A and B are shown apart, each in its own frame.
Chain A
Amino acid sequence: QLQLQESGPGLVRPSQTLSLTCTVSGGSIKSDDYFWIWLRQPPGRGLEWVGYIFSSGVTYYNPSLKSRLNISVGSSKKFFSLELASVTAADTAVYFCARGTMLTHDFDYWGRGTLVTVSS
Chain B
Amino acid sequence: FILTQPHSVSESPGKTVTISCTGSGGNIVSNYVQWYRQRPGSAPTTIIYENYQRPSGVPARFSGSIDSSSNSASLTVSGLETEDEADYYCQSYDDFNHVVFGGGTKLTIL
Could you say which of A39, A60, A104, A110 contacts B34, with CB atoms under 8 Å apart?
A: A104
Kindly state whether residue A89 has any CB partner on chain B within 8 Å: no
Q: How far is the CB of A115 from chain B (nearest CB, A)?
A: 11
Q: A105-B31, A106-B34 are in contact. Are A46 and B89 (CB under 8 A)?
A: yes
**Count class of interface residues, chain A:** 20 to 34
Tell me if B50 and A106 are in contact (CB < 8 A): yes
Kindly state whether residue A112 has any CB partner on chain B within 8 Å: yes
Q: How far is the CB of A78 from chain B (nearest CB, A)?
A: 20
Tell me if B43 and A47 are in contact (CB < 8 A): no
Q: A104-B34, A112-B43, A113-B43 are in contact. Are A60 and B97 (CB under 8 A)?
A: yes
Write the residues of chain A forming the contact surface with B, with a CB cutoff of 8 angstroms: 37, 39, 46-49, 52, 60, 62-63, 96, 98, 104-108, 110-113
